[in-house]
């Protein structure tokens, strides 16, 4: 069982940076691993990453010592099991709107006595070849990272209760879905959305749970870091777009 470097850094009070990747390409993950990412999130919700793809992408991330994390399609134990069995060291769970839903997410990631995740000789457990199951279960429960998304008006309302759930590592703000839920789709800078995000930030700041956020650029990352976010992500496309535009603005003059 590999040490989860991202979780280790978070627990030490450091800020970690990751990239969302929606394309099922182990080669692309390997190339990205040469950059300075702490983690890469393989997007199974808004991307085409299925468990078979995820397993190979996890292997590529491990080659570069980048923490492999996956965003699943839904908060469902069987779905979560399939992705975690690939060896992913963390999980993003979208649309968590209540304490029971947060409890279900944590229990799906963790083995007994912390959860209900099924145990088998899968890749995550080194196919049962390395250490006894008992040792593996203890290590896996300690190393896996649980990230839940707060991206609806109801989730913001229920956040004080959600934060009481044991085993949560990161509360993650999804600005786009949050804006949609608040009736101003795509307007992350709308006062209503800003107010909701401030409510989330304030609630999380009173706990030991890390605050996570998706940002569009470096300036926003710096701003959110100052506001207390320590788990900061950006989309692959947000990194690609400025570089390409800058290239063509120079060569096509």
Q: What is the CA radius of gyration of the chain?
A: 18
pLDDT level of residue 225 (50, 70, 90 thresholds)? very high
* Total of domains in the chain: 1
Query: Can 46 be counted among the known catalytic residues?
Result: yes
99-155 confidence digits (pLDDT tens): 999 999 999 999 999 999 999 999 999 999 999 999 999 999 999 999 999 999 999
| Pairwise CA distance, residues 60 & 252, whole Å | 36
The mean per-residue pLDDT over the stretch 22-40 comes to 96
What pTM, to 2 d.p., does this model score? Answer: 0.95
- The pLDDT of residue 121 is 95
Mean pLDDT computed over every residue of the chain: 96
Least confidently predicted of 84-93, 143-152, 160-169, 241-250 = 241-250
DSSP strand pairing (231-235 vs 210-215): parallel
Write the CB contacts of 195 (distance below 8 Å, at least 6 apart in sequence).
none
Alpha carbon 217 to chain centroid, angstroms: 18
Give the range of the structural domain holding residue 226, as residue numbers without chain letter: 5-251
**Catalytic residue selected from 46, 92, 149, 180:** 46
Tell whether the model's pLDDT for residue 1 goes beyond 90.
no
Bridge partners of 212? 172, 231
Does the pLDDT value for residue 33 go beyond 90? yes
Domain containing residue 140: CATH number? 3.20.20.60
Q: What was the pLDDT predicted at 43?
A: 97
Q: Above 90 in pLDDT, residue 173?
A: yes
* Residue 210 tokens, joined: 């890390």
Model confidence at 170, in pLDDT bands (50, 70, 90)?
very high
């Amino acid at each position: 069982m590999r040490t989860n470097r991202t979780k280790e850094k978070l627990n030490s009070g450091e800020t970690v940076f990751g990239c969302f990747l929606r394309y099922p390409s182990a080669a692309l993950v390997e190339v990205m691993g040469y950059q300075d990412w702490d983690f890469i999130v393989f997007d199974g919700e808004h991307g085409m990453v299925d468990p078979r793809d995820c397993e190979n992408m996890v292997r590529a991330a491990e080659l570069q010592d980048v923490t492999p994390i996956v965003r699943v399609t839904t908060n469902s134990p069987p779905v979560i099991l399939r992705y975690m069995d690939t060896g992913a060291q963390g999980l993003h769970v979208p649309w968590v709107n209540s304490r029971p839903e947060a409890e279900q997410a944590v229990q799906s990631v963790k083995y007994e006595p912390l959860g209900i995740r099924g145990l088998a000789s899968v890749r995550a457990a080194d196919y049962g070849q390395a250490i006894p199951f008992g040792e593996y279960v203890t290590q896996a429960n300690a190393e896996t990272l649980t990230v839940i998304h707060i991206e609806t008006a109801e989730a913001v309302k229920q956040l004080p209760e959600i934060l009481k759930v044991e085993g949560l590592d990161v509360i993650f703000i999804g600005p786009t879905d949050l804006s949609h839920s608040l009736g101003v789709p795509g307007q992350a800078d709308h006062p209503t959305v800003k107010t909701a995000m401030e409510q989330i930030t304030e609630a999380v700041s009173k706990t030991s749970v890390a605050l996570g956020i998706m940002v569009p650029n470096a300036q926003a990352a710096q701003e959110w870091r100052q506001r207390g976010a320590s788990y900061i992500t950006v989309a692959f496309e947000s990194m690609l777009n400025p570089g390409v535009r800058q290239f063509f603005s120079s060569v096509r003059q």
